[in-house]
Structure 1
Amino acid sequence: MIRVAVTGAAGRMGKTNIEALHLAEGVELSAAIVEPSSSLLGADAGELAGVGRLGVKLVGDINDVLDDFDVLIDFTTPSTTMDNVAICAQHGKKIVVGTTGLNDEQKGELEVRATQIAILFAPNMSVGVNVCFKVLDLIAKTLGDDYDIEVIETHHRHKVDAPSGTALRLGEVVANALGRDLKECAVYGREGQTGARSRKEIGFETIRAGDVVGDHTVLFATEGERIEITHKASSRMTFAKGAVRASLWLGQREPGLYDMQDVLGLR
């Protein structure tokens, strides 16, 4: 049995992660962490998530539960995540990171910490999205440079980073398949007299509206035809199930930096 802690337990993803752990086999929720100032401190995590009493009380400091878990699931903010990664590395705990918006320096720190502990970092834990990553690699390599490429993503109004981590990863997969550097060929939105589109750019369009959980489309278009690969998430449970699956897998791994492609055997 893998003992799993959830941080950001009072948030939308935190509560869904708790529910997914409750429904899964081979794992158990053993700790739940919220902000130190939360009015929910001491409440039962299961009751908060709507699955009934689990006997796991919400705490405000990860240091108070370091002896209670093997793997931490973190869908919080970049700064909080990096603090948690450092603590986990110091105490030999494994961590599943679903936080988006990490910068290059923070991603580099994950690589360093992964020499000490097992870390799974994925911008999207959905099994379906990760299958799309694999398919897009094949499509991009087959189509080559004759197709214009656009990535369109839609999320709820509360999402704070743009483009989404998933959209950026979709762009990276396509760029890598075509031998391009996304930092050099990405174009984020267009306005005014932009001129004709260059053949090798990869465009990103971001929509924020309502309660959309997450829609992503990669468009390949050329004269006479277009191909669209679309993934639509209608429930956060799809991400939570992926995170639980990742926790089970990571619990058996040595130090290293992994992602969902590793978990699903898609390498």
Structure 2
Amino acid sequence: MANIGVIGSKGAMGEALRDVIEASGHDYAGGADKGDDVSKLADVSDVLVDFSAPGALESNLHAAVGAGIPIVIGTTGLGDKHHAAIDQAARAIPVLQTGNTSLGVTLLAHLVREAAKRLDSDWDIEILEMHHRRKVDAPSGTALLLGEAAAEGRGIVLADNSERGRDGNTGARSDGAIGFASLRGGTVAGEHSVILAGDEERITLSHSAENRAIFARGAVRAAEWLRGRDEGRYTMDQVLGL
């Protein structure tokens, strides 16, 4: 049993989290949203789950550090300064940050990493994702997570080997690049495919999210796992023992 506080409680993920927390036998410690004092929520929580916005991350980390409790970060659209803040907080508390809390996506990323490791650069890697019309960032955090997994498997740096937003006379595809394409429309919770295209053969690894509850269940699983850990930065791979 744990008291789990939710940051970003008024969003779609916040509502899904409350349902899953209560259904799993944990206590919903309360929620915080834009303009709320997160430190008050942290003081009555055993662990925080953050699905808010990048601009709120540093203050949310400060609240978790001040209360000495773990935090699970599922917020997407993070940049270098956000990851630096996470690294700093992880010196004092357990922090788990991920682009996707789904257990299925976590396993998919593992499979992508293994496939990229075993197939040479003659196999082109393309990542296709689709989300609902209201999603504001692209590529999705999950697409980037999968891209990082592919890059790790290849032993390359994703930022130096990615192609995005192709339009017009772009020229031939760069050797060894990891391509991204983003689609937006309707109410799609999340569709991701990683295509490994070789000469005269193709492998597609994919995941379909049918409901946001899968992300909430994974986040609660991560919160359960994170409680009692030493300070440090953790991943969903560790939650699944990969």
Same fold (TM over 0.5): yes
Give the letter aligned to residue 2 of structure 1: A
Task: Tell me how far apart the structure 1 counterparts of residues 237 and 41 of structure 2 sit (CA, whole Å).
Answer: 30
Give the letter aligned to residue 8 of structure 2: G
1:63 deviates by: 2.8
1:90 aligns with 2:66: yes
1:252 deviates by: 2.0
- 1:140 counterpart residue number: 116
1:10 aligns with 2:29: no
Task: Tell me how far apart the structure 2 counterparts of residues 10 and 196 of structure 1 sit (CA, whole Å).
Answer: 45
- 1:34 counterpart residue number: 33
- 2:233 counterpart residue number: 257
- 2:151 counterpart residue number: 175
Give the letter aligned to residue 33 of structure 1: A
Moved >2 Å (runs of 4+): 63-67
CA contact (8 A) 1:147 1:199 kept: no
Deviations 1:223-253 (A, max 9, x none): 2110000101010000000000011111121
Tell me the secondary structure at the aligned position of residue 152 of structure 1: strand
Tell me the secondary structure at the aligned position of residue 44 of structure 2: coil
CA contact (8 A) 1:96 1:121 kept: yes
Tell me the secondary structure at the aligned position of residue 6 of structure 1: strand
Q: Find the partner of 2:211 among 235, 242, 262.
A: 235
CA contact (8 A) 1:72 1:93 kept: yes
Task: Tell me how far apart the structure 1 counterparts of residues 93 and 169 of structure 2 sit (CA, whole Å).
Answer: 50
Deviations 1:92-111 (A, max 9, x none): 12111000011012112101
Task: Tell me how far apart the structure 1 counterparts of residues 127 and 70 of structure 2 sit (CA, whole Å).
Answer: 33
CA contact (8 A) 2:96 2:236 kept: yes
Aligned-pair Cα RMSD in Å: 1.1
- 2:99 counterpart residue number: 123
Task: Tell me how far apart the structure 2 counterparts of residues 188 and 203 of structure 1 sit (CA, whole Å).
Answer: 6
- 1:186 counterpart residue number: 162
1:88 deviates by: 1.0
- 1:56 counterpart residue number: none
Tell me the secondary structure at the aligned position of residue 170 of structure 2: coil
Q: Find the partner of 1:202 among 152, 169, 178.
A: 178
- 1:40 counterpart residue number: none
What stretches of structure 2 of length at least 5 have no aligned partner?
none
Task: Tell me how far apart the structure 2 counterparts of residues 65 and 108 of structure 1 sit (CA, whole Å).
Answer: 24
Task: Tell me how far apart the structure 1 counterparts of residues 232 and 126 of structure 2 sit (CA, whole Å).
Answer: 33
1:161 aligns with 2:144: no
Tell me the secondary structure at the aligned position of residue 144 of structure 1: coil
Give the letter aligned to residue 70 of structure 1: D
Task: Tell me how far apart the structure 2 counterparts of residues 199 and 120 of structure 1 sit (CA, whole Å).
Answer: 34
What stretches of structure 1 of length at least 5 have no aligned partner?
37-59
CA contact (8 A) 1:9 1:32 kept: yes
Deviations 1:98-145 (A, max 9, x none): 000110121121011101011110110001000011111111111111
Structure having the higher Rg: 1
1:91 deviates by: 2.2
Q: Percent identity?
A: 41
Tell me the secondary structure at the aligned position of residue 249 of structure 1: helix
Task: Tell me how far apart the structure 1 counterparts of residues 66 and 77 of structure 2 sit (CA, whole Å).
Answer: 24
1:13 deviates by: 0.2
